[in-house]
Amino acid sequence: MKYEIKIPTVGESITEATIGQWMKKNGEAVKRNDVLLSVDTDKASVEVVAENDGVLTITAQAGQTVPIGSVVGSLDSDGKAAAAPAPAKEETAKPAAAPAASAPAAGATASPGGIHPDLKNHQSPAVAKIVTERGLDASTIAGTGRDGRLTKSDVANAPAPAAAPAPAKDAKSAPAPQPIVPRGPSRQGDQKRVPMTTIRKRIAERLVQSQQTTATLTTFNEIDMTRVMELRAKYKDKFKERYGVGLGFMGFFVKASIEALRAFPAVNAYIEGTELVYNNYFNIGMAVGTEKGLIVPVIKDADNLSIAGVEASIRDFAVKARDGKIAIDDLNGGTFTITNGGVYGSLMSTPILNPPQSGILGLHKIEDRAVVINGKVEVRPMMYVALSYDHRVIDGKEAVSFLVKVKEGIEDPERLLIEI
């Protein structure tokens, strides 16, 4: 019996997908729940598994973009796997018969090796190579091979030719000019064209949409990371032992952002038609760079999680992203986004909004800088932070105050634990 393999429905707004890679070969026998292929949508990669045992027939190749629900292959439960092709037999190469030696031409003079010059110059490639490399004169070497031919041993043991005497130097003569080596041809015309993946096309569309449909501004501040770094250093081992995850900085920033969103709800709102929609829940998107492009998995109801719960969610998303197993539901429903360019060394940036959201927090590299503390210059670990916001929804005062609230939470991290 034959079973069709179809592109699954992966989201209400997704109408097509690109076949990423077939994990099994055409004609191969597969088992139920084996991964057959990966499918790239405009949001994530999805794996399609076999629903039955059978022999695979592929009808749509990797790289093809097909509508959702399309049949891309089949499984035949009664079929037999294609036999592997037998390895080709290696035929033993027979050495070519040596050509008969030609008779010496009349009147030719024999060389010191006792062989006619025509035979003397008939060298094997290996012998000719040694003669050339050593700069020898074959006519002066005695051959010990058949009919007096030169062998590798003959030319290898032959004395090296005498070096020509170096010309006398003229003290007054100028050094010889160095030759001008011409540059190679310009590589300006070299190009490589690669079709955009479905995810990359969607990213491009959304970035342009964000720039064209929002009134985006960015405000900046800087945060002294001393207290949170001391807290992390003090408790990270016990934290890892108890919760099984590392104590990073992102957990603190998520909790600080939630407190700021509570204080300034417009940052957690969006425009729908002529209305402002205020979200009374906190789904925090975490921008993650992957080989296929940027994705933003969402920590749902992050306000109900402890810092350990937030860190565990981030770890799980990282593993899923690495393995290409981010689900569509993981990417939906975000109300606010955090992006961390600092992991790549970014010192400052202006993040782009993730529509329909009205705010995105950008984190950056921690660097030691000289700052004034109580009238004294001290070196502190500092981080620039940026809030990009939709000015149609959020006023400048709210945006600046939001960022100050995040700063206060990170610089006094204990207050995050008691939510004040």
- Integer Cα distance of 46 and 39 in angstroms: 5
Reduced to 3 states, what is the DSSP secondary structure of residue 303? helix
DSSP label at residue 226: H
CB distance 291 to 225 below 8 Å? no
Please give the positions annotated as active site.
391, 395
Q: What are the backbone dihedrals phi and psi of residue 235, each rounded to the nearest 5 degrees, phi first?
A: -115, 0
CB distance 308 to 245 below 8 Å? yes
Q: What are the backbone dihedrals phi and psi of residue 282, each rounded to the nearest 5 degrees, phi first?
A: -130, 95
DSSP label at residue 394: S
Q: Where are the alpha helices (DSSP H) in 45-197?
A: 117-120, 125-134, 152-157
Name the β-bridge partners of 56.
75
Residue 278, CB half-sphere, CA atoms under 13 Å: how many?
8
DSSP label at residue 410: H
For 190-330, strand residue ranges (E) read 216-224, 269-272, 275-278, 284-286, 288-290, 293-295, 298-299
